[in-house]
Structure formats: structure tokens, C-alpha cells
Amino acid sequence: MASAQFLCGQQLYISCKNGRTQLNSFKKGSISLSPTYRPKGSSFLGQKSQFGRTLVVKASSDSTTSGKKQVEIVYDLEDKFNKLADEVDKNAGLTRLTLFSPCKINVFLRITGKREDGYHELASLFHVISLGDKIKFSLAPSKLNDRLSTNAPGVPLDDRNLIIKALNLYRKKTGTDNFFWVHLDKRVPTGAGLGGGSSNAATALWAANQFSGCIASEKDLQEWSSEIGSDIPFFFSNGAAYCTGRGEVVQDIPSPIGYDIPMVLIKPPEACSTAEVYKRLRLDETSKIDPLILLEKISTGGISQDVCVNDLEPPAFEVLPSLKRLKQRVGAAGRGQYDAVFMSGSGSTIVGVGSPDPPQFVYDDDEYKDVFLSEAHFITRPANQWYSEPVLRNATTSATEFSSTAE
């Protein structure tokens, strides 16, 4: 035997016998060699610890007719190692998982009435977009509690956070006992009307189900999620849905909007309180257009200013008057640049669809030096897979930083 290599409890060996070379693998425990073992008369000439370089083995053998004969054998073992690693990972089970947690916009949002339970009836076209957070999940070594960390100041790390609520909900519904260490790389601003927290909760439910061998269906996860948030069920759609009720009644639809249509998101530092916005809503002053007509117009003619109706804009502009001025300025400066300018959800993000570039005044006016800016586009997800993170040119940055990176 010329040499032995170790990979996650499995061993690979190369043997030279009767002039022929053999490549074999042993299961753990079938052979025992120390890591420093070198067969007599053999040596490694080239080897890289991460298996990124061709392994070169020199082996010598004795010959009765010609003395010693030197044989050089060259192998590229990358494919073999990759297959072994895949097998080891499969046998070990899932211990870590990193997922993209995208946000959404409301292309239109009609408020159609108030319910007996105090919530409002809505009808809205929700669509996932390419801006999102990244969440890393690891199985905790103990069965005591979840641990959450984040890069964003002010985000609660206890059971007020929807991620923790989602993990608690999953254990309650399934009887599983997995706990997690979670790191949230926050890119979606809070208080923006983009559903970032709801997406985080949906992503946590999806992740917990993966760690448990997918014992719950997507339908189960979607139904359970409505217990902790009205917008969470939407993220279990394909990424485009007509939502009614409190938002939890989700009807999947083929995306009526092209994925290549760009947009820019502009959010001032101030947030809009959803509760305060709804408190100031006057149903007799909302739009009277049938939301199904809006959906039909978008499906046939795409996005335009007249179909991007948001009944929460007037009360949001009362809560935050500067937001109304921002929308007006974006619309005026972007004539011919944007197909539509509107507020998403209950604010305070203004969306300009049709161009990824903010208007110049955002760079020039000190009033907007601290606004959040990001370009984005519409995305969906394949069946039985979670959302994939796209590559963005510029994202989650201030106006000053955006200006310098857009050069």
C-alpha cells in the first residue's frame, strides 16, 4: 500500500501491486493508520490539504532482475473526495443552513372594510423582490433555548422577534425538540412596509422543517404561520399572490410582472407605525376601484401609475408628512424614468418601478442624505425550494454611499 488519506472518518488508499494501480476506499474502522504513517520506500511529492491540487504519489518496489524500480503515479482525486464528502454529509444529517429571506412590495393595496375582530379586510397584489436578509441556522448543542444574534442595532433578540416566535411555533406544532443558534444578517430596513420581519419568520419555519426532515408540508407551514403574523403566509406562495382577508388568505398567481423590470426603493430614516396608520384610516375616503380589476389591468398591461393604488398612503402621509413630499418629488423628478411611484404597505418605503436609479435630488439635498436606497427586481421561487439570493449591483446603502458606488 503506497499511502493513506483521511476524510471525515472514511479512508482512501492507493495501492501498487504487480505493476497495476488500484484506488479503493474503506469505511471507518476497517483500517487503522496514524496520520503520520508513511509506508517504507514511499513519499508524497505534492499534496494540498483542501484537495484543490493534484495528488502526486511516488512508490518504489523491489525487483529481483533490475534492483529497485522507481514508479511515479499521478492522480487527480478531487472528484473522489467530493463524492466521499457528499456521502459523509448525507450520513451526518443537516447541522447548518444559510437561507435568503427576501422582502416584498404591495403593487396595489386596497382596504375594503373592517372586520369584527378589529382587523381590516384587504385585497392586495403581493410580490417578492430581490432585496432580502441572510439568515444562518445552526443546530444548538443543547435542548434548552434558541440563541439569536444580528448585525442590526435595535432588533429584539428574545421571543419578541418573529424568528424566535416561528421556531417556538414549529416545535409546538410538530413536537420536535431542535433548538438553534441563528444569525440574522439584516439588510431590509425595519418599519419600511416591506415585510422583512414576516419573511424572516417564514424563512425560520422553512429552515426548522428542513432540519426535521420536512415532516410538515408547505401548506402546514403556511397555515401555522398565520397565528403569528398576517403577512407571513404569503412567503410560502411562489412569490406572487393575490392576498385577501387580513393578508393570510393567499392565492398563488403566475407572476404578472416581468422579472427584468427594475425598481428603486427609497426609505427615509423615519418609520411609519402600522397601528397609527390604520388608526387614521378613513374607509369612506379609500379608493372604490375593484381590486380584481387592478389585478386584471396589471396582468394585461403591466405596471402603470393608475393601477398602483395604496389606500394606506393618505393616513401614512398624515403620520409622516415628509413622506408625501418625498413621493411627490420622486414622481416629478422621475417623469419618463419611472412607470409608477407608490408607497409599499403601510410605509415608509417609496418605490419607483421602471428604473434602478434614484432621482438626482436624493444625492444633492442634505434632507435625504440618510435615506436608505436599494435597487431591486421581482423574483419568485421554484416549487419545493426556498428563495435564492440574486446578485444586486447596489443594495442597502445610504444615499451618500449609493452615489459613490454607482459611479
All residues at 6 or more sequence positions from 380 whose CB lies less than 8 Å from its CB, including other chains: 128, 238, 239, 240, 255, 259
Catalytic residue among 104, 165, 186, 327: 104
Residue 78's pLDDT band (boundaries 50, 70, 90)? low
3-state per-residue secondary structure call for 255-321:
CCCCCCCEEEEEECCCCCCHHHHHHCCCHHHCCCCCHHHHHHHHHHHCCCHHHCCECCHHHHHHHCH
Q: Are 100 and 196 in contact (CB under 8 A)?
A: no
Residue 396: is its pLDDT beyond 80?
no
- Reported pTM: 0.76
Gap between the Cα atoms of 107 and 105, Å rounded:
6
Catalytic residue among 133, 146, 231, 357: 231
Q: What pLDDT does 171 receive? A: 98
DSSP conformation letters of 134-166: EEEEEE-SSSS--EEEESSTT---STTSHHHHH
Dump pLDDT digits (tens) for 86-99: 554 555 579 999 99
Q: Are 193 and 346 in contact (CB under 8 A)?
A: yes
For 219-243, what is the mean pLDDT? 98
Dump pLDDT digits (tens) for 265-297: 999 999 999 999 999 999 999 999 999 999 999
Q: Are 211 and 94 in contact (CB under 8 A)?
A: yes
CB neighbours (10 Å) of residue 82? 11
**Angle at the Cα of 223 (from 219 to 225), degrees rounded to 5?**
115
Percent of the chain with pLDDT over 90: 71
Residue 204: is its pLDDT beyond 50?
yes
Q: Is the peptide bond before 348 cis (omega within 30 degrees of 0)?
A: yes
Q: Which amino acid is at 78?
A: E
Q: What pLDDT does 379 receive? A: 97
Structural domains in the chain plus CATH codes: 89-377 (3.30.230.10)
Q: Which three cell numbers stand for residue 173?
A: 406544532
Mark whether 231 is an active-site residue.
yes
Q: Are 259 and 303 in contact (CB under 8 A)?
A: no
Residue 399: is its pLDDT beyond 70?
no
Gap between the Cα atoms of 140 and 208, Å rounded:
12
Residue 159: is its pLDDT beyond 80?
yes
Residue 59's pLDDT band (boundaries 50, 70, 90)? very low
Residue 336: is its pLDDT beyond 70?
yes
Residue 301: is its pLDDT beyond 60?
yes
